[in-house]
Amino acid sequence: MAISSVQGALRRILAKLPQIKKHATIHTLRHSYATHLIEAGVNIRLVQQYLGHASLVNTMIYLHVTDLGNDDATGRINRLMGGLEHE
């Protein structure tokens, strides 16, 4: 499928959804997909493969986008350490 066809389809859909105010592109959807995968705990190497990035450095730009996993990571670390509290 041609990129211009996909972009045109997205523009037509967005035109029918006036409640969506944000400018969105195919790249916006790709970025959202990667961000949601990382937030869901998908391994960064798998996200790299899904996006087709040759270098992990390209995928790592998505890591700064969200702090959602930080609380979960803290809970996991505390459970692994036997519930020790930070002093």
The total of other beta-carbon atoms located within 10 Å of residue 59's CB is 21
Mean pLDDT score of the chain, rounded to an integer? 83
The range of the structural domain enclosing residue 28 comes to: 21-80
- pLDDT digit string (tens) for 37-71? 988 889 999 999 999 999 999 998 887 766 666 66
Q: How many structural domains is the chain composed of?
A: 1
CB atoms inside a 10 Å sphere around CB 33: 14
Note the helical H segments in 1-87: 3-15, 26-39, 44-51, 56-59, 68-80
Report the pLDDT averaged over residues 17-31: 88
Rg of the Cα trace of the chain?
18
Q: Tell me whether residue 4 is in a domain.
A: no
Task: Please indicate, yes or no, if residue 3 is contained in any of the structural domains.
Answer: no
**pLDDT score for 46:** 95
For residue 42, tell me if it sits in a domain: yes
Give CA separation, 27 vs 37, 42, 50, in Å. Answer: 15, 20, 14
Residue 6 in any domain: the answer is: no
